[in-house]
């Protein structure tokens, strides 16, 4: 199969002089697909022309400028070497705050680097500050750029059949129903002409949602080749430099009002988000964070001025914990810093500020409804698990020896099942709202139970849990159920929201499966009642000598699934007309009970379920090397009713590893001119078995009233370790006059803070205004 | 770049079967296995000898096949994940990974199975530190390693005395 290779820009913002080379042969058609979308983006960023290959100016290192089709990857690489591009270097913009000065503009057609700005204001902020007993000012906090880097890179095979303009994709995109909405518009083909299939996917963590630019190039290359299938296998360096990173965010001029007991009454702050060179899934992140507006805390008054800017870095994508983790990290930093400033222990500070268990369902200041939770209980369990008192004692002793030991708490939320209506808060014209998922449950001709879902799992156990749900409905063993996962447009079970993302399968996917199974059961009952000449309420679903069956309690007569399927599919003359509507092939679309949020007030329920995580870490900063080392770690989780405990536990461990990696090892670093310095795994250093601590796991269950099973989505884990490790490092270093200003910390940053005194200096960053 | 690319004949044994192939000198072992021999269970995650998704056994030692030229495997005996099963049954190490939820997406798993295989061939009862060290070159992005540690402990138990 011909392979696609690409030549990527090697300088930030290079201007190709040999334009004819730089333009891809594949896209040299009259229809150059522009990937920005009027429906996804509002002015001014809808003016951006986002081509899958750069046209005249490349905006970040790694941006593809040419595509080559060859018979093998090595030949494609040889050919790529023949492409000579002379770049003229322009002034790079690498910091979002600097970008907002608009001195060097990335997208001339937009005329500014500002993608979006909006103020989220609730309650009476000014009054709260007037009445505050304490006001804490925090000058700057910064959440770094990282990516959860799935182990399998992006892969696309595209085949554009010239006879009927049908495009077939086999790929690992993890939100295909979204991708086809972009692709159909920009390849100007009917959406029904695009078939997307996914098989097993080697991890995504949201990063594979945005590989549709490459999907577009492959399709066009196939078209140009007369319909041959074209395959693109991303290299790791391509992945690191040009697939997607998580959003980077800077928090400026934060002011926190507290009462005399240390209860936070208001927060005012300015947040600046960096979305890289092109807003692709963005500016959605400008509102997604507000799903967890107050985090786990009770404060009612807040004003957050939120701005997003483009910079000469890789575009961002919805990385695990998307947009919420940045905000939750910010809130946890605020809580720890305020606690320290006014002299309240970190655990006590949280207990005074948590939303209390009896307050659920709890409506946040911006109208989100937290379904259930018990944060104080989770704290209690986590403290027990880690041996809080013991560690406190040990910490005090070791501190006397000069050792830098910190104990940190991170409380966080994993909001699942989005209300896509929130997109209208950033783009009033967006034609999206609600959320839905489709499933199909049928008895096939020989009576096999087959379930299909519109998700594309990457090891989250969709097959297992979907089988469990259907088995429960039909009272049979899960082993008897075939689950068809992996997305396929031609299975006709998807909606425009189908895919695997945003912590929602347990709610949206399984609700769809449950609905389809119920529908099937209802039909089976009607049919069995006819065949067994009894009433529906006389019937029992069970497994007999001839496999799964429906039995009449009154007569003991039964019919197995083969018998039922036989009548409907190949023996239909025995069916009376009133039963002709029975198909035993039941499609069900589950729809989340959402309303469109109030766009002006930025008010409404944005997510259906709120799983919570409470982590505690004990961390030591080595006095000689400044290497931070985790001495102990516990993770307590609450995702409502647990459908499959080992799967939940596995997700918790996985998300914990991502968070620990992000906090201590994984950082997308750019130099002063925009070269990415971490473009291989050897430089980026994803967490390994050697630096992953043993995690002790605990959990509670507060069933969600918002899902049929009481379960909540929980795949993202709220990035709890990032908050927790920052808190532990903070605890270790408060007495050294240090404020943990950044979410990423390693020996270098800690050395520069503690010894060099260059960064993180508390006297420059934090000010307490004490009014009592 | 030369007009025609030279090819080198090599012989090797893969999963017990003798193979004679001719490869370009630059062909990596992983490319030969995946593209040439259709053994796609061996994966590529990084190309820089970090992730171990490409781990295979070469003459009994776990090696990263993305960092070995196919010509270096001339006369070698290679075992890939496809060669682990015994009489159509999953190898006890594979079973242990399944039972312990030691995989999610499974992309890292073939490499981890072979690193585990090598570990347990020389150390029947590895302690936690030895387990961590043995798989330090195998990146898993999904599981957070905890269940992989469990799987390897279980595999050690199940293969004791074999
Ligand atoms: S692909 Fe060989 S080590 Fe990563
Ligand atoms: S299970 Fe996905 S990388 Fe290990």
In a domain, B3, yes or no: no
Task: Locate A320 and state its tokens.
Answer: 């695990």
Is A684 in the same domain as A564?
no
B18: CATH: 3.10.20.30
| Ligand 1 close to Cβ of residue B43 (< 6 A) | no
Kindly tell me if the per-residue pLDDT of A29 is higher than 80.
Answer: no
pLDDT greater than 70 at residue A259:
yes
**Counting one residue from A and one from B, how many pairs have CB atoms under 8 Å apart?**
126
Q: Are A73 and A182 within one domain?
A: yes
Do A127 and A71 sit in the same domain of this protein? no
Protein residue with least CA distance to atom 1, ligand 1 = B44
Chain B residues interacting with chain A (CB cutoff of 8 angstroms): 1, 24, 26-27, 35, 43, 45-51, 53, 101, 103-108, 131-133, 135-149
Taking residues A11-35, report their average pLDDT.
36
Cα separation, B116 vs B102, whole angstroms: 12
Sign of CA dihedral A252, A314, A316, A664: negative
Q: ω into residue A130 within 30 of 0, thus cis?
A: no
Domain-embedded: residue B40: yes
Q: Indicate whether A41 pLDDT > 70.
A: no
> Which residues lie closer than 8 Å to A493 by C-beta, 6 or more apart?
A438, A439, A440, A452, A453, A454, A587
Closest chain A residue to B47, measured at CA: A236
Which residue in the set B26, B105, B149 is minimally distant from A458, CB to CB? Answer: B105
**Of A331, A277, A274, residue with least CA distance to A306:** A274
Q: Within this chain, do residues A627 and A497 fall inside the same structural domain, yes or no?
A: no
- The whole domain housing B25 covers 8-83
The angle that helices A747-754 and A720-733 make with each other, rounded to 10 degrees, is: 30
Cα A361 to Cα A367: distance, rounded to the nearest angstrom: 12
**How many whole angstroms separate alpha carbon A52 and alpha carbon A769?**
51
pLDDT at A1: 67
pLDDT at A27: 33
Contacts 24+ apart (CB under 8 A), B12-19: B12/B73, B12/B74, B12/B75, B12/B76, B12/B77, B12/B78, B13/B76, B13/B77, B13/B78, B14/B39, B14/B78, B14/B79, B14/B80, B14/B83, B15/B39, B15/B78, B15/B79, B15/B80, B15/B82, B15/B83, B16/B83
Locate A510 and state its tokens.
């399984």
At residue A503 the predicted structure's pLDDT band, cuts being 50, 70 and 90, is confident
Predicted-complex ipTM score: 0.97
Does pLDDT of A250 surpass 70?
Answer: yes
The whole-number pLDDT of residue A80 equals 87
pLDDT the model gives residue A14? 40
pLDDT of B92-131, one tens digit each? Answer: 999 999 999 999 999 999 999 999 999 999 999 999 999 9
Does some domain include residue B1? no
Q: Is B2 helix (H, G, I), strand (E, B) or coil?
A: coil
Rounded distance, CA A100 to CA A210, Å? Answer: 25
Give the pLDDT confidence score for residue A6 in this predicted structure: 65
Q: Do A142 and A65 share a structural domain? A: no
**Residue A32: is its pLDDT beyond 60?**
no
Closest ligand to B46 CA? 1
User: Order of strands, edge to edge, in the sheet holding B77-79?
Assistant: B17-23, B8-14, B77-79, B55-58, B61-64
| pTM assigned to the model | 0.95
Q: What is the DSSP letter of A10?
A: -
pLDDT at A55: 87
Same domain, A291 and A142: yes
Instruction: Answer yes or no: is pLDDT of A733 > 60.
Output: yes
A495 C-alpha vs ligand 2 centroid, how far in Å? 28
Q: What is the mean pLDDT of residues A43-55?
A: 86
Torsion of CA B154, A483, A652, B124, to 10 degrees: 10
Whether the Cβ atoms of residue B68 and residue B58 lie closer than 8 Å to each other: yes
Residue A236 touches partner B, C-beta closer than 8 Å: yes
Q: Cβ separation of B51 and A235 shorter than 8 Å?
A: no
Does any ligand 1 atom lie closer than 6 A to the CB of residue B141?
Answer: no
Residue A8: per-residue pLDDT: 65
One domain, residues B94 and B68: no
* B98 shares a domain with B55: no
Asked whether residue A95 is domain-assigned, the answer is no
The answer to whether the Cβ–Cβ distance between B146 and A694 falls below 8 Å is: yes
Q: How far is B72 from chain A (nearest CA, A)?
A: 19
Same domain? For B76 and B106 the reply is: no
Distances (CA, A) of A340 to A333, A733, A768: 11, 11, 10
Give me the pLDDT at residue A39, please: 56
| A46 in a structural domain | yes
With contact defined as beta carbons under 8 Å apart, do A235 and A116 qualify?
no
Q: How far apart are CA A691 and CA B57, in angstroms?
A: 25
Task: Tell me if A541 sits within 8 A of A532, measured CB to CB.
Answer: no
CB A211 within 8 A of CB A156: yes
- Owning domain of residue A552: 436-591
Please say if the pLDDT value at position A428 is more than 80: yes
Q: Domain of B106: which CATH number?
A: 1.10.150.120
In a domain, B124, yes or no: yes
Query: What value does the mean pLDDT take over residues A533-541?
Result: 98
Q: Which residues of A touch B106 (CB under 8 A)?
A: 200, 202, 459
> A638-668, pLDDT tens digit by residue?
999 999 999 999 999 999 999 999 999 999 9
Q: Is the CB of B111 under 6 A from ligand 1?
A: no
- Residue A700 exposure: Cα atoms within 13 Å on the Cβ side: 18
Q: Does residue B2 lie in a domain region?
A: no
B50: CA distance to ligand 1 center in Å? 6
Residue A11 confidence class, pLDDT cut points 50, 70, 90: very low
Which tokens is A569 given? Answer: 């599919």
Q: Is the dihedral of CA A698, A701, A704, A710 positive or negative?
A: positive
Are B78 and B99 members of one domain? Answer: no
Mean per-residue pLDDT over chain A, rounded: 93
Domain end among A542, A562, A591? A591
- Looking at B65, B83, B101, the residue that finishes a domain is B83
CATH number at A552 reads 3.30.365.10
Statement to judge: residues A222 and A293 lie in one domain: no
CA distance A652 to chain B (A): 8
Q: Are A139 and A166 in the same domain?
A: no
Among the partner residues A680, A686, A694, nearest to B141 by beta-carbon distance: A686
Asked if residue A354 and residue A467 are part of one domain, the reply reads no
Chain A residues close to B147, C-beta within 8 Å: 649-650, 653
Q: Predicted confidence band at A18 (pLDDT cuts at 50, 70, 90)?
A: very low
């Amino acid at each position: 199969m011909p392979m696609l290779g690409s030549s990527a820009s090697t300088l930030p913002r290079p201007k190709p002089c040999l334009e004819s080379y730089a333009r891809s042969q594949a896209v040299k058609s009259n229809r150059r697909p522009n990937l920005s979308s009027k429906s996804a983006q509002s002015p001014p960023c809808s003016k951006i022309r986002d081509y899958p290959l750069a046209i005249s100016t490349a905006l970040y290192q790694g941006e593809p400028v040419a595509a080559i089709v060859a018979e093998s990857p090595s030949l494609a690489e040889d050919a790529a070497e023949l492409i000579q591009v002379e770049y003229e270097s322009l002034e790079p913009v690498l910091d979002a705050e600097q970008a907002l000065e608009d001195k060097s503009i990335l997208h001339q057609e937009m005329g500014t680097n500002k993608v979006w700005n909006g103020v989220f204001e609730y309650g009476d902020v000014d009054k709260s500050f007037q009445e505050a007993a304490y006001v804490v000012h925090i000058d700057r906090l910064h959440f770094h750029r990282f990516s959860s880097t799935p182990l399998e890179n992006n892969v696309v095979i595209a085949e554009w059949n010239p006879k009927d303009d049908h495009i077939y994709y086999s790929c690992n995109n993890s939100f295909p129903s979204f991708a086809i909405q972009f692709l159909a518009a920009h390849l100007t083909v009917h959406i029904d002409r695009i078939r997307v299939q996914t098989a097993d996917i080697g991890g995504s963590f949201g990063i594979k949602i945005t590989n549709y630019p490459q999907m577009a190039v492959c399709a066009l290359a196939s078209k140009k080749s007369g319909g041959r299938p074209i395959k693109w296998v991303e290299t790791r360096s391509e992945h690191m430099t040009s697939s997607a990173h998580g959003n980077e965010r800077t928090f400026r001029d934060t002011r926190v009002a507290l009462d005399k007991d240390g209860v936070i009454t208001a927060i005012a702050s300015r947040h600046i988000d960096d979305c890289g060179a092109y807003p692709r899934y963005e500016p959605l992140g400008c509102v997604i964070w507000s799903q967890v507006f107050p985090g786990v805390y009770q404060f009612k008054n807040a004003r957050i001025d939120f701005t997003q800017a483009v910079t000469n870095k890789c575009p961002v994508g919805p990385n695990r914990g998307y947009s919420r983790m940045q905000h939750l990290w910010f809130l946890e930093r605020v809580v720890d810093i305020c606690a320290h400033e006014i002299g309240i222990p970190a655990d006590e500070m949280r207990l005074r500020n948590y939303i209390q268990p009896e307050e659920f369902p709890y409506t946040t200041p911006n109208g989100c409804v937290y379904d259930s939770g018990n944060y104080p209980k989770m704290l209690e369990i986590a403290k027990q698990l880690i041996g809080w008192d013991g560690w406190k004692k040990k910490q005090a002793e070791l501190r006397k020896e000069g050792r830098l030991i910190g104990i940190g708490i991170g409380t966080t939320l994993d909001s699942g099942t989005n209300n896509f209506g929130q997109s209208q808060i950033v783009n009033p014209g967006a034609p999206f709202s609600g959320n839905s998922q489709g499933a199909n449950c049928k008895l096939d001709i020989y009576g096999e139970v087959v379930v299909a879902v519109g998700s594309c799992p990457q090891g989250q156990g969709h097959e297992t849990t979907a089988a469990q749900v259907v088995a429960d409905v039909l009272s049979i063993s899960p082993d008897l159920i075939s689950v068809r996962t992996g997305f396929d447009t031609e299975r006709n079970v998807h909606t425009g929201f189908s895919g695997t993302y945003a912590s929602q399968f347990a709610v949206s996917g399984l609700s769809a499966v449950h609905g389809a199974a119920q529908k099937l059961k209802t039909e089976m009952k009607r049919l069995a009642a006819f065949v067994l000449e009894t009433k529906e309420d006389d019937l029992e679903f069970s497994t007999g000598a001839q496999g799964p069956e429906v039995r009449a309690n009154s007569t003991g007569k039964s019919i197995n699934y083969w018998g039922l399927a036989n009548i409907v599919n190949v023996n239909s003359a025995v069916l009376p007309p009133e039963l002709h509507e029975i198909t035993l092939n039941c499609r069900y679309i589950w729809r989340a009970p959402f309303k469109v949020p109030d766009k002006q007030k930025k008010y409404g329920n944005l997510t259906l379920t709120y799983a919570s995580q409470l982590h505690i870490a004990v961390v030591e900063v080595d006095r000689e090397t400044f290497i931070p080392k985790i001495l102990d770690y516990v993770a307590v989780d609450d995702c409502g009713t647990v459908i499959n405990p080992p799967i939940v536990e596995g997700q918790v461990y996985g998300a914990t590893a991502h968070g620990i990696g992000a906090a201590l090892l994984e950082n997308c670093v750019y130099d002063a001119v925009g070269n990415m310095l971490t473009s291989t795994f050897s430089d980026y250093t994803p967490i390994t078995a050697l630096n992953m601590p043993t995690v002790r796991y605990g959990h509670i269950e507060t069933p969600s009233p918002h899902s049929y099973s009481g379960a909540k989505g929980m795949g993202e884990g709220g990035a709890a370790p990032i908050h927790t490790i920052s808190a532990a490092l903070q605890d270790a270093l408060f007495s050294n006059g240090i404020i943990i200003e950044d979410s990423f910390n390693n020996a270098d940053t800690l050395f520069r803070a503690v010894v060099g005194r260059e960064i993180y200096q508390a006297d420059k960053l934090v000010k307490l205004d004490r009014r009592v | 770049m030369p007009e025609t690319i030279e090819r080198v004949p090599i012989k090797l044994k893969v999963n017990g079967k003798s193979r004679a192939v001719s490869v370009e000198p630059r062909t990596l072992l992983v490319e030969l296995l995946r593209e040439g021999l259709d053994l796609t269970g061996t994966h590529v995650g990084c190309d820089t000898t970090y992730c171990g998704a490409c781990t295979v056994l070469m003459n009994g030692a776990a090696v990263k096949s993305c960092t070995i030229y196919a010509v270096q495997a001339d006369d070698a005996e290679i075992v890939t994940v496809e060669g682990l099963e015994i009489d159509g049954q999953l190898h006890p190490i594979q079973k242990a990974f399944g039972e312990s939820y030691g995989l999610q997406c499974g992309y890292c798993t073939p490499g981890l199975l072979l690193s585990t295989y090598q570990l347990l061939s020389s150390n029947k009862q590895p302690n936690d530190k030895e387990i961590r060290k043995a798989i330090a070159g195998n990146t898993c992005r999904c599981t957070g390693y905890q269940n992989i540690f469990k799987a390897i402990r279980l595999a050690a138990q199940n293969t004791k005395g074999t």
